[in-house]
A and B are shown apart, each in its own frame.
Chain A
C-alpha cells in the first residue's frame, strides 16, 4: 500500500514563529487532507488539497502531486496551534485514507 511520511516528527517553536510541515507519499493520490488533532482527540479539517495551493488565514498548503509531496505552512504561530498535525491520502479506486505518523507541534508563549 501507499506509504506516507511526515517530517519533522516534533517541532517546538516560540509564539510568533513560522513553520513548515512536510508530507511525502509514495504513489499517485486523488485525495490529500491535512488535519489538526486537538488535545481531546478530534481531527479538525484544515485543507482538502490533492493538488495546488490553498490559503486559510495564517495557514496555507501546497501539494505538488507530480513530485508526491505536500507542505503545510503556519505563520505567526499561536499557542492554540499546538497539537498533532496529520496528513492523510487516498488513492484512485481505494476508499480509505492512509495517515502519516504526524508532526507534534508545540508553541511556547
Chain B
C-alpha cells in the first residue's frame, strides 16, 4: 500500500518565479491538504481539496493556489515567490466522513528554497 508521495523532494527557485508541487494521496483517500512548515515551527494549514474543489483555506495569500485531479492527486502552485516562502511543504491525505478532520497521513515533504 503506497503512502502519500510528494515530488520533488527539493527545489531551489529565484524570487519572482513560480513553482508547482505535486502530491499523490494514500490509496483509498479522497481528500488532500497542504501545509507549510517554516524552520523551527509547526506546520501551518494552507488549504484542503475534496471533490476537486477547495473546501477550506488557511491564512495564506492568493499567490498560493491549488488543484485536485479526478484521481485525487493534487498540485500546489505558488506565484511570485518571496524569500519568506522558503519552507518545507507537506501534503496530507485523509478520507472524508463529512464531520470535520479525520486521521491524516503525511508525505515526506518538498523542501523549497527561494534565493
Contacts and interface: CB of A to CB of B under 8 A. Distances in A.
A40 B111 CA distance: 10
A91 B42 contact: no
Given A100-B42, A101-B42, A102-B42, A94 B104 contact: no
A43 B106 contact: yes
Given A35-B106, A42-B106, A45-B105, A86 B42 contact: yes
A91 B102 CA distance: 10
B71 interface: no
Interface residues of B, number: 29
Chain A, interface SS category: loop
Interface of A: 30-31, 33, 35, 40-43, 45, 48, 86, 88, 90-102
21 contacts: A31-B101, A31-B103, A33-B104, A35-B106, A41-B88, A41-B108, A41-B111, A45-B103, A45-B105, A86-B42, A86-B43, A88-B104, A92-B100, A93-B100, A95-B33, A95-B56, A96-B33, A97-B104, A99-B43, A101-B41, A101-B42
Interface of B: 31, 33, 35, 37, 41-45, 48, 50, 55-56, 58, 88, 90, 92, 99-109, 111
